[in-house]
Structure 1
């Protein structure tokens, strides 16, 4: 038998995802969920008059959690029957012999397989949403702390009019709020497939209840209630529409893109030494270059985000490829993309939480970079000040243009500091505004309403706090420590 180090293991389980999310998609939880669904079906059928013994129900309740031996029995049955659901029906029947004849009564395989998938998708989103809320809250605190710190903004990859470090973080938060909304919507739009029969007509249940349509409808509602779903699908084929998978994975995919976007910003900021992700005292940046502080968390986030973003195509194409009331070409791929999308999202939130808990800002570097570009950006303010003193705008513009070109040549051609302001101070043409230059060059006068925007956005009555209101308990429990990276 191969040892534990002699078989491939997904990095999601070995390196990235949380124990609780890995447990949710474990064989134990899935198989236990199947057994719960069979129990809920039997209980509901009994409540509506089907003859079932109390002992049968009691035995089912007593054996919801599978033992290692139960899994072995199911594996033997599946090898013989080539059908995973029926293998587990027989295994459950051995645990609960009094119920062996009524387990799965009237149901098709999709009753347990599809409803279990819906339960797991819902529960995964219930785990992820509070984690995302915690990340947003931490970034919100960061944004507020640095709302007034001017820094260069960039358009086209080139230095542009300054804003603040906090404003940039607020832009990240805005996109994460969209992800929170998308994931909430996807979660709340999940409808329970319920009890629908082989092609969704409920014919088998209508036969069981001797043509009583009201009891069939009540059965559907009872099982949905036991599973914790307020909404049961009003119409379906053999399966729930794979459009639900599309909606959930589109929300995940969009979140993956956001992670790439934020990770890319942090990586660029780290390359110019303005902001860094947390770097532990014993962490090694490079095996060869001991001085390096590589942004490995952000790089990992971009990599996993890319994987998550691409998964939505699997769901979209699977939905589009379904024929009529169902085909089985959806089965294998859904075993991959349903858990993988949740595990990737979970892994990304662990990284995001870790980063947002310990972003390191270097104000001196930010100020130096800003000072190197600010003289060019201040030229319009200087022109306005000259005009206010009665100087011709055209004359002022020409003087500024000539000096700016000369200073640019020094910066680009000689690698020296920007000396535009020195040139202006030495030119008598600018004498009327020399005394005002310090004010005209104050970085805080270039950021517009960035600080006020951040305050309004992250404040007590702002959109961030309103969106986070349902998650106050999770945020309070999180404290200030960041999530620990597994590796």
Structure 2
């Protein structure tokens, strides 16, 4: 972390980010990957008959991590080319290998292939945090699958649901995001060796016109870096649609996170739910009593940023001229790492929130009771009809009392006394002894508990079971949440 307080510090790395994701997008990881790519290229070229010695390979192998960034910066100031600067500094450490480093390659051999590696490894970190978050949410949904709560449509009181069912909606969205992360990790291709305009002309020259060796080199380098898929054709760069696909996945996660965090903020306003709050945490500099949902607010803030990044990636793909143009470079240096860093932080925050979320059942029950009188009228009506009552007459009794009770609530701020009015009305005397059972909130939640159980058993637990080893080993980064 930069401690020079006279220069701008990126808050994603300086304030929030987890160590694992920060490392993947760090200069050390990036440029040591360049060196591994050069080493892998040399090994594969040697295997296919080019004049590359074991000593050259050994020298390169010995200097994959010891990067002198000050020396590279000085060389880049001289050469005005980042890749050539690193080649020269690497070559000074392994002088015998210097003549064959980057043999046949163009700059995008290291830059593009490294970015594909970074995105794939970043998606693996995202996958691990999604798993942890899904596991915590699944336990929460299961525990509260039958706890009635007031449902809302249009943010107006509606039919009851359960706490577990509501949170299962967020869990389902996370599951859909997870499935796309899984697919992309398996599908993401490698650029491998394509040459300056994607024709592999330099490699065809090195192999004296042997097309089969060019194709074999492409497959071998990809396999050496852990990739099964290679882009079929390219210009100098791999198609930037891949960046868009990946950013769209991160945007999807941000959408899910923002929806969940927004709902938590609304529930916090109603005092039904609170996110974790430290013993000495300050909610407001002026209002000492406040317990602001600052973690959820941070999720929404970062999610808004991530959701806008796919537009950048789309423009980059749309404006690439012919085989390539360099106006993608500076943009992608921002969009790719920051998309991953922000998404990583979002997931760490949600893991923290769900690990310590606080429910207030008495408040939840009070809100139910304030609205249940209106929702229960149909049940009361049907029960009274079964006992011989006249449906139309009973309906008019309910309507009259409902209007009077609602007016009292609005004009006087009084409690809703509709149920007491109906209980004491002679028209409902035939079911007076059944009122309590007919007003049990658990009879108004439909199949919500069973839906949660089925969803967890059929959709979520198979995923968690498939990744049990990874889930057992995973833990969220200790970030400043």
121-130 vs 464-473, which moves further:
464-473
Name 1:473's counterpart in structure 2. Answer: 469
Structure 2 CA distance for aligned equivalents of residues 274 and 485 of structure 1 = 27
User: Which residue number corresponds to residue 4 of structure 2?
Assistant: 4
Mapped contact 1:28–1:66 kept (Cα < 8 A)? no
Once the two structures are TM-superposed, the CA of residue 471 in structure 1 deviates from its matched residue by: 2.2
SS of 2:286's equivalent? coil
Q: Is the 8 A contact 1:275 1:361 kept in 2?
A: yes
Distance, in Å, in 2 between the alignment partners of 1:59 and 1:430 is 93
CA contact (8 A) 1:425 1:434 kept: yes
Partners of 2:87 and 2:403 in 1: CA distance? 81
Alignment correspondent of 1:418: 416
Task: Normalising by structure 2, report the TM-score.
Answer: 0.98
Please identify, of 164-173 and 80-89, the stretch whose mean Cα deviation from structure 2 is larger.
80-89
For these two proteins, the number of residue pairs brought into alignment is: 480
Q: Is the 8 A contact 1:237 1:326 kept in 2?
A: yes
* Aligned counterparts of 2:467 and 2:284: Cα–Cα separation in 1: 39
Query: Offset at 1:186?
Result: 2.3
Matched-pair contact (CA < 8 Å) for 1:264–1:298: yes
Q: Secondary structure at the match of 2:151?
A: strand
Mapped pair 1:486 → 2:480: yes
Whole-angstrom CA distance in 1 between matches of 2:470 and 2:112? 30
2:176 matches 1:182: no
Give 1:367's aligned residue: 365
Select the residue among 270, 273, 276 that pairs with 1:272. Answer: 270
The 2-side partners of 1:477 and 1:66 are apart by: 30
Summarize the alignment of residues 299-318 of structure 1 with structure 2, pairs less than 5 Å apart. 299-318=297-316
Deviations 1:133-180 (A, max 9, x none): 110000100011111110001001101000111111111100110111
Counterpart of 1:195 in structure 2 is 193
Q: Show CA shifts across 1:357-400 (max 9, x none).
A: 01101111100110010000001111111221222222221111
Q: Which SS does the other structure have where 1:357 is aligned?
A: helix
**What does residue range 151-230 of structure 1 map to in structure 2 within 5 Å?**
151-230=149-228
Query: Tell me, what secondary structure is at the counterpart of 2:380?
Result: helix
The runs of 5 or more residues in structure 1 that have no matched partner are: none
Any idea what the Cα deviations from partners look like across 1:112-153, whole Å, max 9, x if unmatched?
000000001001111110111110000100011111110001
Kept in 2, the 8 Å contact 1:134–1:474? The answer is no
Counterparts of 2:236 and 2:390, CA distance in 1:
79
**Does the 8 Å contact 2:20/2:477 carry over to 1?**
no
Whether the aligned pair in 2 keeps the contact of 1:354 and 1:483 (CA below 8 Å) is no
Q: Deviations over 1:392-445 (max 9, x none)?
A: 222221111111111111111110100001111221011112111111110000
1:435 paired residue among 433, 436, 451: 433
The one-character-per-residue Cα deviations of 1:252-273 (angstroms, maximum 9, x if unpaired) are 0111111110000000001111
How far apart are the structure 2 equivalents of 1:55 and 1:297? Answer: 54
Q: Distance in 1 between matches of 2:3 and 2:386?
A: 82
> What's the CA shift string for 1:19-66, capped at 9, x where partnerless?
111111111111100011011001100000000121111111111113
For 2:392 and 2:177, the matched residues in 1 are separated by 49
Structure 1 outlier segments of 4+, above 3 Å? 482-485
What do you get for the CA RMSD once the two structures are aligned? 1.3
- Provide the C-alpha distance between the structure 1 equivalents of 2:410 and 2:332, rounded to a whole number of angstroms: 55
Deviation at 1:86, TM superposition (A): 1.1
With over 3 angstroms needed to count, the CA separation of the structure-2 counterparts of 1:454 and 1:334, relative to structure 1, is same
Is the counterpart of residue 104 in structure 1 residue 102 in structure 2?
Answer: yes
Distance in 2 of aligned mates of 1:412 and 1:321: 59
